Structure 1
Amino acid sequence: MFEHQDSLKSLRKFDLNLLTVFEAVYFYKSVSKAADILGMTSPAVSQSIQRLRQYFPDPLFIRDGKGISATVFADSMHENIKGSLNGIIDIFADKGDSIRNLVIWSDPHLAQLLIPDVCSHLMSSAKIKCRIAHNLLPEDPIEVEHALLYHKADIIFDIVPIYNSAIESELIYSEKIVMVCSKNHPRISGEVTNSSIKDERYTTITKNRKKINEFRTKIDILLGKRTVSFASPSLITSLAVIEKTNDVGFCPESMYEKFKDIYNIKRLDCEADLGTYEVYMSYSKKAQQDKALLDLVNKVKEVLITQNTSVLR
C-alpha cells in the first residue's frame, strides 16, 4: 500500500502531457508535424521534449538527416506506454466498439426475474458491447442511494423508488401478490377464506423496508395474529422452505409462475386482496451526460417493459 502511495506522489509531480507530446513526435518523427497535430508551436514541442529528457538518461530523439529518429530507449519507452495511452484515449473517444461495464444492483429474486432478459437482449445484439456485473442490494436505503450518487452502480432494481433530485426512478411493472403453499399441504388447497387459514404457520420476510413493513401490517389486519415459523430476508429461501413444510407464504405472481414447478408449490385463491408488488428502476440523472450509459439504460428499460407487458397494470 505504501509503495502505491509513493508511486502516486511521484506521478503527481510528473506532467502527463509530456507523454502525449512524446507519442506525437515518435509517431510522426517530426517536431513540426507533432506541433500541427497537437495545436502547439514547434518551440513548445521542443521544450516539452527537453523537459521529458530531465526524467530519463537518454536524449530520446536524435537528428537523422532532415528529420529525427527515435533512440533505442525511446522505442522501449513507446512500447511501455502506448497501451496505457490508448486506453485513456478510448475512454474519452467514446468509441462504439469499446466495451462498457454495466453494474446492476438488486435483491436476488429480482435478479433472477429481470437480469436474464437484460443479458439475453444486450448480449445478442452486435451493436451493443457491454459487460454486465450484478451486486446484491444492501439493507441500508442510504447506501442504496449513495451507490448511484457515487457511481458504484449504474442501475438499481428495487421495490421502492429513490426520492432524490439527482436520481431518476421509474416504475417498470406492477403485479399481484399471491399466497402459496406446498402442493402436498395436507389441509388447504384452491380457494381459501381468512378464517380457514388463520391458524396455519407462515413464513415472513425480514427486510426492513417500508413496502415490506406495510404489507406485513396489511396481512396482520386481514388474518389477525399469525404464527410465524420461518423468517428470512430471501424470498427464494422462503419458497424452498414452503416446499418442504406446511407453511404458507406470499410472493409476486411472476415469481410463483417461474418457480412453482422447481419448488413444488401451489397458489391459493385468497378472498382478500393482497395488493400489488411494484418494481422500480433507478439510475443517476448524470447518465444523460454519458451517451453510452444512457443508451444502455434506455435499452434495459425497453426490454423490461416489453417483457413485462402482461403483468403491467
Structure 2
Amino acid sequence: MKLNLRSIDLNLLPVFDAIMDAGQLSRAADQLGMSQPAISAALQRLRHTLDDDLFVRTRQGMVPTPRARELHQLLAPQLASLRDSLDPGNRFDPANSQRQFRLLSMDYFEMVILPPLLQRIRQQAPDVGLEVTPAGDDMAGTLIKARADLAVDSFAPEDSRLQREVLLEENLVVVARRGHPRIQGRCSKSRFLKAEHVVLPERNRRLPLDLILNAPGWQRRTGARVTQFASMLAVSARSDMIAPVPERLARHYADTLALKVLPFPVTLPPVPVYRLWPSALD
C-alpha cells in the first residue's frame, strides 16, 4: 500500500534537510530561524512518522542513520528543485532551460512558422523542447487547465480567461496545378465556383475563412474533404481540384508541388493569426 502523503507534515522535510546539512540541532535552528526546542520537537515527530531514529547524538554532532542517508539522497534534489521553482527571483533562463513546451495549433503553423521559429529557439534556448498538437474544439479549455502553454490559430475564442495577440496576418489565395485546363492566368469568381474544391472538414468552431467562403453567393463544389492544409496542397497538385489557402503557405510550396498561386477572385480583408495564452500566466 502506498504511503498517504496527507498523513505526513511536509513542513518537517526542510527540518530534516537542515539537520543533515548542519550536523547539529542548534545550527539547523539558526538556518531555519527556529528555536532549538522547536527543532527537537520536529525531529521527534519525523522519527515517529518514519519509524526510524534518523540521527544519533554524538560528541561530533548528529550522525545520520543509514535510513536518513538514503532519504536525504532522494529528497535533497527534490527540495532544491522545489525551492528554485518557488523562488520569485528565479526567472526563466532560456539559455539554460530544459523545459518542454506544449503548443496547440494547425499544420499551417508547423509548415510556415515552426521552421524559422525553431532556428531562433536553438540560438537562444538550445535545450528547450516543443511539442505541437492539434488545437481541437476545446482549445480554450485545454489552455485554461494548463494542459498546454500556448496556442497559435486563426480562431480566437471570446473568453476572459485567455489573452490574445495578433501574431501575423494572412491573405487568402487560390492554388491550382500548373496546366489546369480551366484555371488559366486568373481565377474569376465564375471559374472559382465551377471548379471542384478540396476543403477542410466542418468544425464546431467557425474560422474567418469558413465565414467568407460560406457567405451567400459563394457556395462551392466540394470534391474532397481532407484533414489539413498539407493535404489540400497535395490534392490540388495532382488533380483538377483547387483550394483557397493562406498565401505564405501557398508560396512556400508552390515550386515544390508545381502549383499556381492566384489572387482570390475578390478583394478580401487579411485573416489574423492569433497567439493565445491563459490570463493566469500574465
TM-score by length of 2: 0.89
Alpha-carbon distance between aligned partners in 2 of 1:166 and 1:133, rounded to the nearest angstrom: 23
Q: Look up the match of 1:103.
A: 102
Q: Look up the match of 1:302.
A: none
Q: Look up the match of 1:291.
A: none
Aligned equivalent of 2:213, options 211, 216, 240: 216
* Between 87-96 and 161-170, the greater mean CA deviation after superposition: 87-96
Provide the identity percentage: 25
Question: What does 1:1-313 align with in structure 2 at a 5 Å threshold?
Answer: 6-7=2-3, 10-65=4-59, 67-93=61-87, 94=90, 96=93, 97-125=96-124, 130-138=128-136, 140=137, 143-208=138-203, 209-210=205-206, 211-218=208-215, 221-222=217-218, 225-288=219-282
Q: RMSD of the TM alignment (CA)? A: 2.1
Q: Do 1:90 and 1:98's aligned partners in 2 also have CA atoms closer than 8 Å?
A: no
Q: Do 2:105 and 2:135's aligned partners in 1 also have CA atoms closer than 8 Å?
A: yes
Q: Do 2:172 and 2:263's aligned partners in 1 also have CA atoms closer than 8 Å?
A: no
The one-letter code matched in structure 2 to 1:89 is: R
The one-letter code matched in structure 1 to 2:111 is: Q
Q: Do 2:174 and 2:264's aligned partners in 1 also have CA atoms closer than 8 Å?
A: yes
The one-letter code matched in structure 1 to 2:146 is: H
The unaligned stretches of length 5 or more in structure 1 are 289-313
Change (3 A) 1:269 1:75: closer
The one-letter code matched in structure 1 to 2:195 is: E
* Cα shift at 1:269: 3.8
* Cα shift at 1:99: 3.2
Alpha-carbon distance between aligned partners in 2 of 1:38 and 1:262, rounded to the nearest angstrom: 65
Aligned length in residues: 275
Change (3 A) 1:98 1:191: closer
Change (3 A) 1:67 1:151: same
Alpha-carbon distance between aligned partners in 2 of 1:195 and 1:144, rounded to the nearest angstrom: 37
TM-score by length of 1: 0.80
Alpha-carbon distance between aligned partners in 2 of 1:52 and 1:269, rounded to the nearest angstrom: 74
* Cα shift at 1:66: 5.4
The unaligned stretches of length 5 or more in structure 2 are none
Alpha-carbon distance between aligned partners in 2 of 1:197 and 1:102, rounded to the nearest angstrom: 41
Alpha-carbon distance between aligned partners in 2 of 1:226 and 1:161, rounded to the nearest angstrom: 25
Q: Do 1:207 and 1:233's aligned partners in 2 also have CA atoms closer than 8 Å?
A: no
Q: Secondary structure at the match of 1:55?
A: helix
Change (3 A) 1:16 1:189: same
* Cα shift at 1:50: 0.7
Give CA-to-partner distance per residue, 1:198-217, whole Å, 9 cap, x none.
32211122242322431222
Alpha-carbon distance between aligned partners in 2 of 1:75 and 1:124, rounded to the nearest angstrom: 41
* Between 74-83 and 190-199, the greater mean CA deviation after superposition: 190-199
* Cα shift at 1:274: 4.2
Give CA-to-partner distance per residue, 1:123-174, whole Å, 9 cap, x none.
2115x86332222111x2xx11111211111111111222222211111111
* Cα shift at 1:57: 4.1
